């Protein structure tokens, strides 16, 4: 019994190697890490630059970060972009020039900010209450997103392409007449995918959060990665065993990617409010992954119960699909 399970594991491992599963995962790891370290950590939005035209230099209380310009045209050009602010102090009373950005509140904020630049007072600095700086937040945020994407989409596709190859070769039906349990056939694939995904999660986390921060979050991240990996692998197994060809699977994949993942990202990444998003199961998986990276309070028991229930149900569905495929003719 144990021997046949190891034979299945060995066979599935070889299939994964031949389908370039590991190569793709390493490629993704390098690509994501390069993007995070070279691009994303530097993403920022600077405060509105303030330009001052003051030929007589009458303004005394001007803040040091105000940029001086030397002609009205220069001032005009500088604040045309809808973001910068111009102050024309050439005619006695200073005039604040703002090219509207189209958002009235932001225009108002720019106006207030300009006023502060003309004032001599000092401001009380805001109190920082969070544990992260901007770079670490960016690193945690994007690593969580990439890991979610990799496990939810790429891993799902990887398992399906492997299974479709077996289906095309007709060897799945051969297993019906071998002394192999159907559950073992599913489990061997699941174990390998889970192992590969956990390894990927660990490497991605350590490469992009650094060793100390990475090790700190790793236990929680691995739990969430494990849950997501099992759910997606099982769903991938069920759909690829049920759908007749890879083309139809790809169709489903496209629909999943566009209509299911996009709202999750929108809700998780931006402030766009979607009240219905709490009914979206993938959103909870995404939020749990993000929480794990930010070491936010772990989700409640309902979440884990739901995950376990889903894994169990998906396993039953996968078994049912496998059973049907084995009975199929031709």
Partner 1 sequence: MNWIGLKFQLKTIRRDKLCILTFLLPIIVGIAINLLGDMNLTSTAEPSFGIVQNDLTKETISWLQETGSVTVYDSTDALDIAIIDPSTQLLGVLSLGNEIRVLRSGDELQMYAVIADTLPLLYAVRNHAGKYEQTLLPPKNSNDILKPLLIVITMITAMFMGCTFNAMNILSEKEDGIVFINEILPMTGTQYVKQKIAVGFLGGVLSTVITAFVCMRLSVTQILPVLLFIILSSFIASLIGLFIGRSANGLMAGIMYIKIIMILFIAPPILFYLAAPAGGILHTLSYAFPSSATFYGLMGILNGNGALGTEIIVLIAHCFLWFLLYIMTSKRIQS
Residues at the interface with partner 1 (CB under 8 A): 44-48, 80, 82, 93-103, 105-109, 111-113, 115-116, 118-119, 121-134, 136-138, 140-141, 161, 164-165, 245-248, 250-251, 254-255, 258, 268-272, 290, 294, 296
Distances from the Cα of 254 to the Cαs of 8, 106, 249, 262, in angstroms? 30, 37, 9, 11
Min separation Cβ 23 and partner 1, Å: 13
Q: Which is nearer to partner 1, 39 or 309 (CB)?
A: 39
Q: Which is nearer to partner 1, 237 or 315 (CB)?
A: 237
Q: Both tokens of residue 1?
A: 């019994």
Q: Which is nearer to partner 1, 167 or 319 (CB)?
A: 167
DSSP 190-226: HHHHHHHHHHHHHHHHHHHH-HHHHHHHHHHHHHHHH
Min separation Cβ 97 and partner 1, Å: 5
Q: Which is nearer to partner 1, 14 or 134 (CB)?
A: 134
Min separation Cβ 281 and partner 1, Å: 19
Handedness of CA 301, 225, 131, 46 (dihedral sign): negative
| Alpha-carbon span 196 to 191, nearest angstrom | 8
Q: Both tokens of residue 260?
A: 């299911």
- Reduce the DSSP state of residue 180 to 3 states and report it: coil
Q: Which is nearer to partner 1, 138 or 205 (CB)?
A: 138
Q: Both tokens of residue 183?
A: 């559950």
Residues with Cβ within 8 Å of 211's Cβ and at least 6 positions away in sequence, in order, are none
Question: Which residue from 86, 65, 62, 90 is spatially nearest to 76, judged by alpha carbons?
Answer: 86
Min separation Cβ 230 and partner 1, Å: 24
Q: Which is nearer to partner 1, 71 or 112 (CB)?
A: 112
Min separation Cβ 132 and partner 1, Å: 4
Q: Which is nearer to partner 1, 143 or 319 (CB)?
A: 143
Min separation Cβ 168 and partner 1, Å: 9
Min separation Cβ 167 and partner 1, Å: 11
Q: Which is nearer to partner 1, 46 or 179 (CB)?
A: 46
Question: Which residue from 187, 75, 59, 193 is spatially nearest to 118, judged by alpha carbons?
Answer: 59
Question: Which residue from 251, 289, 284 is spatially nearest to 267, judged by alpha carbons?
Answer: 284
Q: How many CB atoms lie within 10 A of CB 138?
A: 18
Q: What is the dihedral of CA 141, 147, 149, 153, to 10 degrees?
A: -170
Min separation Cβ 142 and partner 1, Å: 11
Q: Both tokens of residue 318?
A: 């996968």
- Reduce the DSSP state of residue 60 to 3 states and report it: coil
């Amino acid at each position: 019994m144990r021997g046949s399970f190891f034979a299945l594991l060995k066979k599935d491992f070889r299939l994964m190697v031949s389908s370039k599963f590991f190569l793709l995962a390493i490629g993704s790891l390098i690509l994501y890490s390069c993007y995070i370290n070279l691009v994303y950590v530097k993403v920022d939005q600077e405060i509105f630059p303030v330009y001052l035209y003051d030929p007589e230099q009458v303004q005394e209380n001007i803040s040091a970060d105000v940029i001086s310009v030397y002609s009205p045209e220069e001032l005009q050009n500088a604040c045309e972009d809808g973001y910068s602010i111009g102050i024309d102090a050439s005619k006695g009373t200073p005039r604040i020039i703002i090219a509207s950005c189209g958002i009235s509140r932001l225009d108002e904020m720019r106006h207030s900010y300009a006023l502060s630049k003309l004032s001599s007072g000092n401001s009380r600095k805001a109190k920082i209450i969070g544990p992260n700086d901007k770079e670490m937040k960016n690193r945690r945020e994007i690593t969580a997103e990439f890991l979610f994407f990799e496990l939810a989409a790429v891993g799902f596709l990887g398992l399906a392409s492997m299974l479709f190859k077996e289906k095309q070769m007709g060897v799945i039906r051969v297993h019906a007449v071998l002394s192999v349990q159907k559950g073992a056939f599913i489990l061997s694939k699941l174990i390998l995918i889970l192992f590969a995904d956990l390894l990927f999660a660990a490497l991605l986390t350590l490469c992009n959060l650094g060793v100390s921060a990475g090790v700190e979050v790793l236990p929680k991240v691995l739990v969430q990665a494990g849950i997501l990996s099992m759910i997606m692998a099982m769903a991938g197994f069920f759909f690829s065993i049920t759908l007749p060809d890879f083309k139809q699977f790809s169709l489903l994949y496209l629909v999943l990617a566009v209509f299911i993942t996009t709202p999750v990202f929108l809700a998780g990444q931006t402030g766009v409010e979607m009240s219905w998003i709490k009914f979206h199961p993938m959103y909870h998986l995404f939020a749990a992954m993000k929480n794990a990276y930010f070491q936010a309070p772990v989700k409640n028991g309902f979440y884990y119960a739901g995950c376990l229930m889903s894994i169990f149900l998906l396993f039953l569905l996968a078994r049912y699909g496998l059973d049907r495929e084995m009975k199929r003719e031709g």
